Amino acid sequence: MDDEVFRQITRVREYFADSKNYYQLLRHVTYEAAKYRWFGSKSQSLPNGNLPEDLVQELIKQVLDEDVNSPTRRRLPEDVEIGKALRMQLRSKLSALVQSRENRTLRRETDVGGDASEEDVPQSILESGTPLWEQTSEEEDESRTATADRVDRFLDFIADDHLAHAMIILARDEGLYKPVEAVARRLDVTVNDIYIAKKRMKAAGQRFIKSEQNSK
């Protein structure tokens, strides 16, 4: 085994010999993940169905990899404290997920149930209309920023409708917009409440679009 690889594996094993270090790392990645806007298509807060513990477990496997030529192995700088080095690697993983195709592709369907022809969140509010990965980096950043700003303005527009507001937040931040039963359970309301809020949201979306056009 390569000497550098051996030293890294030894450092990692010694670090995790204290189980509290694992849970501190898990809390760290959970906290860091909450700082980002996730537009994943799954009912998870991170793209590809990842959970914070999945990222930690994957990183542990990568830093314990004995094959110095492995394309997935992650090297930890020897002059950096092990906990800090692992946190740096986790932030790198989160950054990669933010830039991933799945996260950059906004859902075209935000229906939480019922009539598929109805939109929970109007398309013109929650998506740019063009797949982001087909744009240049500069255009992509502008599109993502514009979309996020549009969502924020719509949230302000419907702030008085607490249930509709909560549904938008849930769809935006966690990708949870269906099935309707899951949304109802999460928000502690009835399925019928969700259906009624959908109709209010659709009407509010139409009013929002008109107000945006009139303000130009």
DSSP string, the chain: --HHHHHHHHHHHHHHTSHHHHHHHHHHHHHHHTTS----SSSSSSGGG--HHHHHHHHHHHHT---TT-TT-----TTS-HHHHHHHHHHHHHHHHHTSHHHHS--S----SS-TTS-SS-HHHH--SS-GGGS-HHHHHHHHHHHHHHHHHHHHHTTT-HHHHHHHHHHHHH----SHHHHHHHHTS-HHHHHHHHHHHHHHHHHHHHHHHHT-
pLDDT value at position 37?
Answer: 62
The pTM of this model reads 0.47
Query: pLDDT digit string (tens) for 150-202?
Result: 888 888 998 888 888 888 888 877 778 778 888 888 888 888 888 888 888 88
For residue 134, pLDDT over 80 is answered with no
The domain segmentation of the chain, as residue ranges, is: 3-104, 123-214
Query: pLDDT digit string (tens) for 73-103?
Result: 999 999 999 999 999 999 888 888 777 665 6
